[in-house]
């Protein structure tokens, strides 16, 4: 598959997994608080920060779940309620046999937090117990 076709497919997958918004007349009741209105001892992460370890843990869990499904067109949403980061994980290739004989598969994960939008690439392999273990998850290099 040519790179432009691959990019178009990834954009379509991201758009399809992003959801819809609903316009409501009672928007004031659901207005988001300003950063100045926040209280408590836990600081909110910066909106343009790279993924935190907890963000990556949510993405890894979603990757393990979607790889377990085995569907070629599956995608799994994830969200970290602590940081507001979210995204989806989509397998991008058929499974393959690793050198140690385990069944493995590559995937892409989207990452959105505030105005930060990026992609992560990863791979997971099926353990002897049948659970998919994610062994790499890093920024996607084009």
Q: What gap in Å lies between CA 107 and CA 25, rounded to an integer?
A: 40
pLDDT digits (tens, 9 = 90+) for 85-133: 999 999 998 889 988 889 999 999 999 998 889 999 999 999 888 899 9
Q: What gap in Å lies between CA 76 and CA 22, rounded to an integer?
A: 22
Tokens of 56: 């990556």
Smallest Cα–Cα separation from 91: which of 111, 112, 110, 71? 71
Tokens of 36: 């100045």
pLDDT digits (tens, 9 = 90+) for 10-43: 444 544 444 444 444 444 444 444 444 455 555 5
Residue with token string 């990556």:
56
Taking the whole predicted model, whether its pTM rises above 0.75 is answered as: no
Tokens of 31: 């207005």
């Amino acid at each position: 598959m040519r790179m432009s076709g691959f990019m178009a497919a990834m954009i379509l997958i991201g758009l399809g997994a992003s959801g819809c918004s609903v316009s409501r007349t009672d928007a004031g009741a659901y207005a988001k608080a300003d950063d100045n209105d926040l209280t408590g001892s836990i600081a909110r992460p910066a909106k343009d920060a790279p993924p935190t370890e907890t963000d990556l843990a949510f993405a890894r869990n979603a990757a393990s779940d979607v790889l377990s499904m085995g569907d070629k067109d599956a995608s799994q949403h994830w969200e970290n309620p602590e940081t507001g980061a979210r995204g989806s994980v989509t397998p991008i290739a058929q499974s393959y046999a690793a050198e140690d004989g385990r069944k493995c598969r590559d995937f892409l994960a989207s990452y959105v937090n505030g105005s930060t939008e990026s992609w992560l690439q990863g791979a997971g392999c099926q353990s002897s117990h049948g659970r998919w273990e994610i062994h790499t998850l890093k920024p996607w290099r084009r």
